[in-house]
Amino acid sequence: MASSLTKDSAPTGIPGSESTFFGHPRGLATLFMTEMWERFSYYGMRALLPLYLVAPAGLGLSATTATAIYSVYLSLVYLLALPGGWFADRVLGPRKTVAVAGAVIMLGHLTLALPWSGSFFAGLGLVAIGSGLLKANISTMVGHLYKGPEDPRRDGGFTIFYIGINLGAFAAPLVIGTVGESVNWHLGFALAALGMALGLAQFLLGGRHLSPQSDVVPTPLTAEQKAATLRKAFFWAAVAAVFYAIVGFSGVYTLNWLLVPITVAGLIIPVMVIGRMKRDKQLDRGEQSKLTAYIWFFVAAAVFWMIYDQGGSTVSLFAESSADNSVFGWEFPVSWYQSVNPVMIMALAPVFAWAWLALAKRGKEPSTATKFAMGLILVGASFFLFLAPLSIADGGHKAAALWLAAIYFVQTVGELMLSPVGLSVTTKMAPAKYASQMMGVWFLAVTAGDATTGLLSIAGVDLNKTGIVTLEATLAVVAGFAVWMYRRKVKELMGSVN
């Protein structure tokens, strides 16, 4: 990475102004590497998760139950991003919160490595908590490196940061997936813990390049507020413990007693949070207008992630049971499909970053609403494409691996239209009062999408059937056209933000 640092001039007052990272503040390199290793640990575990859940040597569950667990787990990870942002805003600040998060994630992966089903679910819980603490705050810290929304490098910086995410995500299935599937499931989870340890070390060593703003607690709790918060936390923890103890000892407990409440919360909480912000009288008219525009992006993102995240569950389980997972006669582990998307992102993200900047200089860059519409239409098209291998499998044949690679390619192009742009517009449109919490709201869109998938799976819906895949694809395309048709109205509500 050292060769990419130059003595380019950078705007005064930006951390790392003495040197740059691909023309961006030096702190971006620290966050890039931290997120790369954290994503290595996360996506390695995620690639193994549905396969371990259905494997006879794993937990031996049905594909429907495995999809439900996988979707609810993802929903919980992103749901916890909101309290993660609140914790940074009110208690520790983004930088210290990310350090704590790294330690919790590492402990979670080590717990997953233990060969017991009880510890496995405890490990999933720890990884979810740590990921929630980390996700909103590390993205917020990227935003701190730039001089506000007007900095023209901002979208490009988030795209480069996105490459770090996908570099880790690309390597993870190849390393962790191969070891987990071919050697030992729990050894694969242990390698995920090692990845997080490396990410935490990178963050601690490179912290001096980060913005001083990342150490600030924007609205710290008073001593009285801290005491009240702790009392409420202990009370609700005790209520949950007593409730599940009663259910467990009564002999009626099933996994759905855990999955259903989380799924319902994943659908209700996003609505409640956005509604609370809209009712906040302290926000001025401009901030309220931007929040109204943001609701469009939120709903669009929820539909997008509902389909996109099934690449790791519905599509992966289809590959495990119904695809010819080989190239020129060479068979590869099913988890390797999860490397297709990130390698395509690494190839295409620089092209998108260059294209947005070039179009912006000519005054022709598409609006955020247009980019979102294109992302939705593309993710819908990917599931229309999924109908081909489903039809092949229904005919009693194995679908070629290239069909699945094509699905991931179309989803990748859609992702680059929506995801890094969504991260950037969230930091631009966030009311000052909510800061890190607004990034948590962006991740609640993922929660809502995955919770919908989880609820369908809990209800026994087989997501690998032609009818449901067609319905989801149609929903995404229709939503995309709706966003495009109302793009001018959304632009007016956004004010000066593009």
* pLDDT exceeds 80 at position 95: yes
Share of the chain above pLDDT 70, in %: 93
- pTM confidence score: 0.84
* Cα-Cα end-to-end distance for the chain: 32
Query: What is the mean pLDDT of the segment spanning 314-330?
Result: 91
Q: Do the beta carbons of residue 472 and residue 387 sit within 8 Å? A: no
The radius of gyration computed from the CA coordinates of the chain, to the nearest angstrom, equals: 22
Q: Which residue has the tokens 């429907």?
A: 64
DSSP reduced 3-state for 25: strand
DSSP reduced 3-state for 327: strand
Q: In this predicted structure, which of 117-126, 247-256, 300-309 has the lowest mean pLDDT? A: 247-256
Query: How many helices and strands, by DSSP H and E, does the chain display?
Result: 18, 7
* pLDDT exceeds 80 at position 55: yes
Q: Which residue has the tokens 């087989």?
A: 462
Q: What is the structure's pLDDT at 496?
A: 64
Q: What is the structure's pLDDT at 17?
A: 44
Angle between helices 185-205 and 154-172 (to 10 degrees): 150
Closest CA to 32 of 203, 196, 148: 203
Q: What is the pLDDT of residues 440-455, one digit of tens each?
A: 788 889 999 999 999 9
DSSP reduced 3-state for 218: coil
- Which residue has better confidence, 393 or 443? 393
DSSP reduced 3-state for 115: coil
Q: What is the structure's pLDDT at 11?
A: 43
Q: Write the DSSP symbol of residue 146.
A: S
**346: β partners:** none
Closest CA to 277 of 290, 263, 264, 296: 290
State CA 2 to chain mean position distance: 29
Q: What is the structure's pLDDT at 202?
A: 86
Residue 388: exposed, middle, or buried by beta-carbon count in 10 A (0-12, 13-18, 19+)? Answer: middle
Q: What is the structure's pLDDT at 7?
A: 36
Query: What is the mean pLDDT of the segment spanning 471-491?
Result: 89
Of 26-40, 233-247, 467-481, which has the strongest mean pLDDT? 467-481
At 148, the pLDDT band (50, 70, 90 cuts) reads low
* pLDDT exceeds 90 at position 369: no
Closest CA to 199 of 339, 365, 376, 33: 33
Closest CA to 36 of 195, 192, 143, 142: 195
Residue 330: enclosing H or E segment and its boundaries? strand 330-331
**24: β partners:** 21
Q: What is the pLDDT of residues 32-50, one digit of tens each?
A: 888 899 989 989 988 999 9
Q: What is the structure's pLDDT at 494?
A: 67
Q: What is the structure's pLDDT at 212?
A: 82
**6: β partners:** 20
Residue 21: enclosing H or E segment and its boundaries? strand 20-21
